[in-house]
Structures are given as structure tokens and as C-alpha cells.
Structure 1
């Protein structure tokens, strides 16, 4: 059992709390302050579970791609992949290091070598200086950088919840 099933349990607990509070309060036609607080809290918990699922899926997809390309040793197995998550803590798992692939250079011009006039030729009128990424390239970039999404989420979720609480309690205190 990993560390995120608690997220699902928290979603179910929040549902139970919302139902209990709603049934114990008098029925009114307007939204109560407690409803705003509970539903916003529920939204934060639900979004964190969705974020975890998306990052976990992307990380697993990237590890499978690396395995297919031969960048992960053949001794790599599923229990070792779980250890990357930070939730699986077993002293018997020994991770074998593998070479990290370097990201492509941002300063190189991928289209420059293909132009008939050479890489130093000026673009003609009406041509773009940079090629836009295709949807497939954007998805691949998202999948290969899922750790960035996780890192930003670790900062964005608590800060936005703190901001919500500050605004909420300043209005309803």
C-alpha cells in the first residue's frame, strides 16, 4: 500500500462530512459559508488526487519508454519503479543507477540544418523564425517533465489553500 490511497480516503471522508453537515443544518435556499468552505476543501483534495494520478501515469509511461529504448537496465523491475514514487519504503529494494539522458539544447535550431541555403541564411518574408510544437511533441514534453508538475504542485496547492483560508476567514470571521 502506497502513500496516496489516503487521498481517496480523504475524498470519501470529505464527502461524508459534507453530507453530515448538510443534513444537520436547517434547509435554506442559499449557499451557507460552511458549504463554501467544505466544497472548496473537497475540491483541493480531489485535485490533489487527480494531480497525483496524472503525474504517476506520466512517470510510469516515461519509465516504460526508457525501458523500450534500453536506457534502464534489464534488472529494473516494478518494485523498483514504485520506489521512485517516494511512497514505497523497503530496505530490500536496491536501485540500479542508469545514465540520465540530457535534454535537447534549447539554443540549437532544429530546422536550420534542413534549409537549402544553410543554417546562416535569413528567413524569407512570411516564414516563421521558430517552428511550433505539434500536439504530440507537447504531450511528450509533458510526460517527460512530470516531475516539474509535481514540484510546482507541492508549492501551488498549499499556497493557494492558504490564500483561500486567509480570504475566507477574513470575510466570515
Structure 2
């Protein structure tokens, strides 16, 4: 059996919300690897844009339904070539750099794997990439998981998504 769950987007979002609630109550690390059908995921705040409903209808007619998420950022493509990793954990109230700490928690295993194979990676922004943030993992000017985040009390949700096709990947972290 594959460890990758095949979920409708609304179910994946609900499971992430449950993960945050569970980690706040039990202080465990929770994680989920999942995929969903074709779609475009945007921040809930985008629903207030002029003509948003018209754009949603038009996008859906082209086979790309639009889904809303609770966090900020930009539009993120989902589909069969995208594998998502969602992690939820407790972030202490005294951590000065919560965003950076969460990014490193997500990205450091990938950096360690690269180093173990003699490949040097670096954290940096990549101009023109789908997710242009300081925590893109970059090898030879191509980015890999690049986190995004949003606040939620002590619970942190980390989501990384990576295209399994030759498209540049992107990832996100929510705090």
C-alpha cells in the first residue's frame, strides 16, 4: 500500500486542521503525505477580489477548480504530479525565528540527503520560480521544497508539495 493518501482537497484541509488541534492537545508531531485531483489552491482572502467568482467558474470550466485555504501566499497548483507532505508540531513561544525554524525543520532532511550524496544545496530565493522565498532548497539554480507559512497559536502545520514530474517544485510551511 502506498503511504501517499489520495484525498479530495477539502478532506486534506480538514485533516490538516485536525492535525493542528491534536498536536496542541497532545504535543506530538503529526504528519500526512497526500495527493489530490487537479486544482488551484488560493488563500481564502482571494475570495474578496473583484470578479473572483467569475474567475473560479472559468477556471473550473477549463478543468482547474479553485479551492480556498486558511493561509496567505499565492496560488498553488495541485494534481497527480504533486505530492504534499503536511506536518504539525508545537513551536515554543520563546522561539524568535519561528518561520525560519519551521522552514529548517522541513528542509534540513532534504539538505542532509543531498550532502550525503555529495551535492551542495543552499537556502535562497530563486527569481521566476513558482514559490520564490528565502527557504527554497536550491541545487544548480533549481529550487526544491520552498516553504510558506501562517500563524496558529502553538500549533504549526508544515506542508511541502513537490511535483513528481520535471516541473520546479514548491513547498510551504504554516505557523
TM range (shorter): under 0.3
Q: Which has the larger radius of gyration?
A: 1
For normalisation by structure 1, the TM-score amounts to 0.21
Structure with greater strand share of residues: 2
Asked which structure has the greater RCO (Cα within 8 Å, sep 6+), the reply is 1
Q: Return the TM-score normalized by structure 2.
A: 0.21
**Greater share of helix:** 1
